[in-house]
Copies of this chain bind each other. A is one copy, B any other.
Amino acid sequence: MDQTLTLITLDLVGCFVFALSGGLVAVRKEHDIFGVLVLACVTGLGGGFLRDMAIGATPVAALSDWRYLVVPMTAGLLTFYFHPALGRLEPLVNVFDALGLGLFVIAGAVKGLDYGLSPLAAAIMGLATGVGGGVIRDVLAGRVPIVLRRSVFYAIPGFAGASVTAFGLYFELSPPLVMAVAFVLCAGWRLLAMWRHWEAPLPRGSASV
């Protein structure tokens, strides 16, 4: 009961910070207010949408709980009216975004297992939940998705966190312990990667810059 409430709260926090990032992209592209709201919503909700359509959890969660619509819309409105302040807060937004990624990959992997997926497939669904919204945001905004460009910041820590969750729960380790390890691994890795400017290996023969 209480645990479900905690999970939903964390999920909504993740949705909120992802929606902020979508709204900021729309503001920089000088879209009008509805463009900002739409990009905030698809960024905050897109990953869960994709996951729910793939595993057949329809109607998708975002449509059956009004909080999943109100939270990203609020984030979009805040971005629209207070974006200069939010721009200055970008380092803070990045920190929240790392926390959001950690929350989303865990929630996605747990839901995948609930729908009977194998641990590997559930980890993939966790990753898709964590990065899906950002991919849709970047495609709509006409940019190459960040998950393809900066994998050390996004895809690798996300997949690590989702895998720990999916395999840990599959082998019946203690759920709070598994989720705590997954969260620290995913969010911590991403924060370290940002702070230390890590880079992933490039294909042979590519320029290193």
Q: Which residues of B contact A204 (CB under 8 A)?
A: 81, 83-84
Do A206 and B30 have beta carbons less than 8 Å apart?
yes
In the complex the two chains form, is B144's CB within 8 Å of A59's CB? no
| CB-CB contacts below 8 Å: A45-73 with B | 49, 53-56, 58-60, 62-64, 66, 69
B121–A63 CB distance below 8 A? yes
**Segment 130-163 of A: residues with Cβ below 8 Å from B:** 135, 139-145, 147-149, 151-152, 155-156, 159
B63 and A33 within 8 A (CB): no
For A148, the chain B residues whose CB sits under 8 A away are: 26, 29, 31, 35, 38-39, 140-141
Chain B residues in 8 Å Cβ range of A142: 142-144
A202 contacts the other chain (CB 8 A): yes
Q: Which residues of B have CB within 8 Å of A80? A: 203
Residues of A in contact with B (beta carbons under 8 Å apart): 26-27, 29-36, 38-39, 49, 53-56, 58-60, 62-64, 66, 69, 80-81, 83-84, 112, 115-118, 120-121, 124-125, 135, 139-145, 147-149, 151-152, 155-156, 159, 199-207
